[in-house]
Amino acid sequence: MDFRRVSLIALPYAWLLLLFLVPFGIVLKISLSDYALSIPPYTPTLDITGGWPAIRDFLGQLDVENYVFLTEDDLYWKAYLSSLRIALISTFVTLLIGYPLAYAMAKAPREWQPTLLMLVILPFWTSFLIRVYAWIGILSSQGYLNQTLAFLGLEPVTVLNTNVAVYIGIVYTYLPFMVLPIYATLEKMEGDLIEAAQDLGCTPTEAFWRVTLPLSRPGIIAGCFLVFIPAVGEFVIPSLLGGSETLMIGKVLWEEFFNNRDWPVASAVAVVLLLILVIPIVLFQKNQEKEQE
């Protein structure tokens, strides 16, 4: 047996076990527990120290009342649907903005591309919270946006504490995750294909729709997944930029954990959210495998 090969293969599985499966098992265990006024604020229904008999009794009397509660309260399924809607719209808007940027970067002169790429990555050098707080200064009632409108003689607008502000924050934050994979795909595309399409009678617009866009599909899919998956569970942006009417599951999850201190329900919310996100994650991995093949 080649131990070096086994150790090389075992390393990512050990990483997955320690950083995903073990935390997920802990959260799943808490979600099957009962709420209690204690520290921590739950009573475990599974005692591993009891051995196999305790585990067998636990499986025979599985307590899923927290998951049943999620289906009975409208708040939770509305939060899931609202999160999916906001994530889908944000992903679509990010694609509309990110694709032209990536296309322009790929078509720019070769000596300018590293500079343009650095400008896209540059926001990552600043703290995420600082960038979100900066939008508060821009979108507030006395912010730079309304000051500019007043200078132009226009009426002020209310953007902060609305869903529009949440869309702006998500699109701004995750735009590089859309631009970079699309740029990587377009940059590798052979320019001779466009010339061949035009030689065969295609106009530049037709060549784009028939050649460029289909060949850039892997980058579009990767970018959409990289934006959609974290946007569904986003918490900071709706908390800082959204108002009381902004309902997202990440915000509900935080309130259950820290305000209500109902860890079993909060863990059930987290487990269901993870199961929802497993679908796009699996699809993203399948797309990556096809692209590598």
φ, ψ for residue 35, nearest 5 deg: -70, 145
| Nearest alpha carbon to residue 95 among 24, 178, 152, 33 | 178
Distance CA 179, CA 102 (A): 5
* Residue matched to tokens 């070769």: 110
> In this structure, are residues 192 and 250 in contact, taking their beta carbons and an 8 Å threshold?
no
Return the CATH class of domain 66-292. mainly alpha
Given this model, what pLDDT does residue 289 score?
Answer: 74
Distance CA 290, CA 88 (A): 24
Given this model, what pLDDT does residue 237 score?
Answer: 93
Contacts 24+ apart (CB under 8 A), 184-193: 184/219, 185/215, 185/216, 185/218, 185/219, 185/220, 186/102, 186/103, 186/105, 186/106, 186/212, 186/216, 186/219, 187/105, 187/106, 187/113, 189/106, 189/215, 189/216
Given this model, what pLDDT does residue 52 score?
Answer: 56
Indicate the domain borders of the chain: 66-292
DSSP bridge pairs for 43: 34
Distance CA 120, CA 214 (A): 24
pLDDT tens string 93-116: 999 999 999 999 998 888 898 899
Mean pLDDT of the chain: 84
Tokens at residue 147, please?
């000051």
DSSP bridge pairs for 34: 43
Instruction: Name residues whose C-beta falls within 8 Å of residue 127's C-beta, 6 or more positions apart in sequence.
Output: none
Distance CA 175, CA 141 (A): 25
Alpha helices, DSSP H only, in 17-73? 22-31, 51-60, 65-72
What is the CA 92 to chain-centroid distance, rounded? Answer: 13
Residue 240 CB: number of other CB atoms within 10 A?
A: 17
Residue 163 CB: number of other CB atoms within 10 A?
A: 20
Distance CA 32, CA 39 (A): 17
Q: In the chain, which residues have pLDDT < 70?
A: 1-2, 45-62, 291, 293
Burial (0-12, 13-18, 19+ Cβ within 10 Å), 73 = exposed
